[in-house]
Chains A and B, each alone.
Chain A
Amino acid sequence: MKKFFVFLLFPMIMLCLGAEKELDLSNIKYKIVYESYSNNNWDIYIINADGSNKKNITNTPNIHEMYPKVSPNGKKIAFVVDTGEERNRGRDLYLMNIDGSNRRLIAQHGRQPCWSPDGKYIAFTKSESTRRFSLESWSTKGLFFYNMQTGKITEHPETTLEHLYNLCWSPDGQYIIATVLGGMGFKHTNIAIEVKGSSYFELNVTGCRPEFSPRGKYIGWGPSDRQFNIAKIDLSKRPPVADKDKIPFLYVTEGYEVYHLDWSPDGKYIAFSFGPDGEQNVGGMAPGWNICVAEVATGRWKMITFDGNHNKEPDWVP
């Protein structure tokens, strides 16, 4: 109870200070899906953008479902399923309808799904180690594409890609941006990868988890675990992101973290995860974390969940 109070303390202070004053989310027409942990189990929930009408759409007490990514037409969700425990845990990639029905396996050892803008493909990575499970987001090997029409999987022509995470397909369909850690000669940076070619290059963005705005003109990312930045991006230029264009968007005090930024389909809002120091990786323990929504134009934000059930990885439903 005491811990719960502490988790709520900061947002309550922010509320009192007016950081979230007057932010009305009730007119947003989109819903949000996210991963949440309770009763020793991960499930995927769907919720209105103002926090109303929360619903568990997987509801499987013995199976962990996480990292929901909604198709561009809003009808399907690609997500990961974990089975087994600790070092023998396994992670696979699944697909289901937006209401949780008709779930099916699409790639064993698949991780980090991301839809093509036309909804015809799901890009994903695979677990790097076959010996033991790793929660680390970067513990991946390769870049793959699942064809929604044929069900076939093909690998990206550049087969040396490794340690990619947080894939995000550019709205023009030409590139996938991602964070890379300790792979392809990079220490830890963000890159753009040609979807049909074999080249990749840095975005000039330090930190992690870049996400395109709906029209692809901006990206948002986390330069640290307590901040989001926004910047113009032009993948035809080098570097694609100029230092002068980087704008701090949101910041929380020490002891708290923000992660998993995702732009609303109309580009007016950003959903994200927020909570006390915790484990941001997919399926990582993050007690006290909640889903929040920020208004891009003003930077005002508010929590839309309050149960603190390790709520992470929000994704807007178009």
Chain B
Amino acid sequence: MIIISPEDYMKKIISLMCIIFILSSLSCKKKTETSIKEITTKSGIEMIFVPEGEFIMGDGSADAPLHKVKISSFYMDKYEVTQKMYKTLDLPNPSHFKGENRPAEMVAWINAAIYCNERSIEEGLTPCYDEKTWECNFEANGYRLPTEAEWEYAAKAGTSGKLFFAPDPKNLKNYAVFSKNSQGKTETAGSKKPNPWGFFDIYGNVAEWCNDFYDKDYYKNSPSKDPRGPKNGNERVIRGGSWNDSEEIVNSTARSKDPSLSDACILRDTIGFRCVRKGD
């Protein structure tokens, strides 16, 4: 029979706790590394992997009541799609404010979807959009526009509330190209600080198309996991605000919409987009 003294017993307990602590730390560290991470796609575009998670969507306003949403993992472009990225695919660049590293704008929703499909084809992935119906196949491994929920999850980046930075609105100028600091046009993509997950220009520069049709009451009945917007509509959601928008729009939660799905007569030099694709 082995008799353990109280001192030895305590030493073993402490050693065991240390081992558990170290293992726990390692485990946490590993989890962090597989959480937010940057990748570069086959065509050389930087994206950020966003792990599955849960967040409070909305801001409590009439068209954005607070509600809990679960999101599956996805990759999202680190920057708004630039004119250089557009031209790499030999697609017509409709932008008003020309510049390779400026975001593409004047992009109709349909042309943003076409870009997604072409980028998918370029990388040997399955295009998400049916170009006759413009329905999105969320199971395809190609590129698509973010759902409104994915966009807000990425914009909030683990924070809550309207702004991802310390709540002094004066800080907005450090993170966004918007009406008070733009020169009446877009700026080079990534000219301001990124959000906590590394997304640049998630606020401002160009407002970003989402895949969802817009419905002001959608949040009231939307599914709690991976909401994908109403089935039909005449307008699509845009998020994040632009170089021409004020603080009321340039944030994580303000919902906007636009009807320029394909009509060249109403294209806006304030609207661009970034792409996502589903997580591994």
Contacts and interface: CB of A to CB of B under 8 A. Distances in A.
A64 to B, nearest CB: 16
B117 to A, nearest CB: 8
B98 interface: yes
Interface stretch (B144-152, B249-257, B264-272): B264-272
A136 B106 CA distance: 13
B135 interface: no
Main secondary structure of the interface of A (DSSP, over half): loop
Nearest to A257: B263
B91 A208 contact: no
A139 interface: yes
Interface string A255-281: 000000000000000000000000111
A222 B263 CA distance: 13
B93 interface: yes
Interface residues of A, number: 27
A131 interface: yes
Contacts of B131: 86-87
Interface string A132-161: 101011110000000000000000000000
Interface residues of B, number: 22
B94 A181 contact: yes
A281 B265 CA distance: 11
A277 to B, nearest CB: 8
Interface in B114-165: 114, 117-118, 131-132
Contacts of B174: none
B90 interface: yes
A73 to B, nearest CB: 33
Given A182-B106, A185-B98, A187-B106, A222 B92 contact: no
Interface string B205-247: 0000000000000000000000000000000000000000000
Contacts of B91: 129, 131-132, 134
B89 interface: yes
A254 to B, nearest CB: 11
Contact of A181 (B90, B98, B106): B106
Nearest to B108: A136
18 contacts: A86-B131, A87-B131, A130-B90, A132-B90, A132-B91, A132-B118, A134-B114, A136-B111, A137-B264, A139-B92, A181-B106, A182-B95, A185-B98, A186-B96, A187-B106, A187-B269, A188-B96, A208-B265
Interface of A: 86-87, 128-132, 134, 136-139, 163, 181-182, 185-188, 207-208, 222, 224-225, 279-281
Interface of B: 89-96, 98, 106, 111, 114, 117-118, 131-132, 262-265, 267, 269
